[in-house]
Amino acid sequence: MTSLVRRRLLAACALSACGLARGRDALAATDTATIALVMKSLEDPFVMSMIEGAKNYQRHFASQLNLETRGTDTDNDVAGQIRIVESLIDAKANAIVIAPADSRALLPVTAKAIVEGIIVIAIDNPFDERAQDDAKVVIPFVGPDSRRGAKLVGTYLASKLKPGDEVGIIEGPSNDRNSQQRSAGFKDAMNAAGMRVSAIDGGDWNAASGKVAALQILSGHPMVRGLMCANDNIAMGAIDALRIAGKKGRVLVTGYNNIEAVQPMLEDGRLLATVEQFGARQAVFGVDVAVKALLEKRRQRDLSPYMETPVQLVTKGQPKGFRLGAS
């Protein structure tokens, strides 16, 4: 994305209140629209921040916009999300804004929704481009560049180490595009700094998975000096693993998402850094794109394929929350 387009999108954040007012006025002249927000695990604090952001948006014009929020029991519940989308097709929702648990497996059911005339927007995790081509659909992605965000935090970690130091990567689910892109961003940063990625492990987005993976890495690679984690839940598990292994303070840990639970860890040094990707704003942008598409009576193929939202490196002493222009 060009810097001009990025600046325009960031400027839109500052004008969100004006945009909401315009949307409310426009919707007043139409029938009530139903937009469904389909998320991953409702136990994940980041997911809940996105849902709350979308609910706040909807409150500005509740009489014109019906927002349904759905989620699954676990982060990688692909079958659960497929059932949710199928139920929304049967209910004839006007639009679906979804954070897909799998960038390929969710494509057939969302393509079916598009055929039924439902607008579909992806947030948080983009759909696989090749799968979209095969299905002959374009599903706009409204969200951050995960590879870029991971490179930001990886570069910061590298600044605290020496060239040649060993580091490990703890991923999320292998079928998740965000996990893949963050791993790629971590590798970009390590290659640029001359670090050695000696171990890659992972499995899920939760702390238990992070703890198991970190213990395996620490056992097999005792010289590891840094662990880059695909989200903050994984990072919290890795921090616990360091305690168990007696390596607290000897291995630097980074996360991703800047959830509330890691704030004390940033302040006391257990977590070196994380990445803020403004989940509440991200959900608002996704719902807003869907609202505008319905207002303008646009078809799926008329929508822009990518609208980038900001990411920001967060280290000790930085406040949690949105800051216009941060990227």
Encode pLDDT of 191-207 as tens digits.
999 999 999 998 899 99
What CATH fold (topology level) applies to the domain 146-276? Rossmann fold (3.40.50)
Tokens of 124: 């948080």
Q: What is the pLDDT of residue 270?
A: 97
Q: What is the pLDDT of residue 16?
A: 40
Q: What is the pLDDT of residue 319?
A: 59
Q: How far apart are the first and last CA of the chain?
A: 13
Residue ranges in 120-206 assigned as alpha helix (H): 129-135, 146-159, 177-193
- The Cα 12–Cα 116 span in angstroms is 31
Q: What is the mean pLDDT of residues 152-179?
A: 95
What residue segments make up the domains of the chain, in order of their start? 3-144+278-309, 146-276
Task: Provide the mean pLDDT of the chain.
Answer: 88
The per-residue pLDDT for range 248-302, each reduced to its tens digit, is 999 999 999 999 999 999 999 999 999 999 988 889 999 999 999 999 999 999 9
246: left (phi over 0), alpha (psi -120 to 50) or beta: left
- Which residues make beta-bridge pairs with 66? 34
Q: What is the mean pLDDT of residues 234-254?
A: 97
Q: What is the mean pLDDT of residues 89-99?
A: 97
Homologous superfamily (CATH) for 3-144+278-309: Response regulator (3.40.50.2300)
Task: Report which secondary-structure segment, H or E, holds 46.
Answer: helix 45-59
Long-range Cβ contact pairs of 244-252 (< 8 A, separation 24 or more):
244/211, 244/215, 245/215, 245/218, 245/219, 247/218, 250/225, 251/218, 251/224, 251/225, 251/226, 251/227, 252/157, 252/160, 252/161, 252/225, 252/226, 252/227
* Total-model pTM: 0.81
Residue 157 dihedral angles phi and psi, to the nearest 5°: -60, -45
- Asked whether the domain spanning 146-276 has the same topology as the one spanning 3-144+278-309, the reply is yes
Q: What is the mean pLDDT of residues 160-185?
A: 95
Q: What is the mean pLDDT of residues 141-162?
A: 96
Residue 217 has pLDDT above 60, yes or no: yes
Q: What is the pLDDT of residue 320?
A: 55
Nearest to 60 by CA among 12, 14, 13, 24: 24
Beta-carbon contacts of 112 under 8 Å, excluding residues fewer than 6 positions away, are: 89
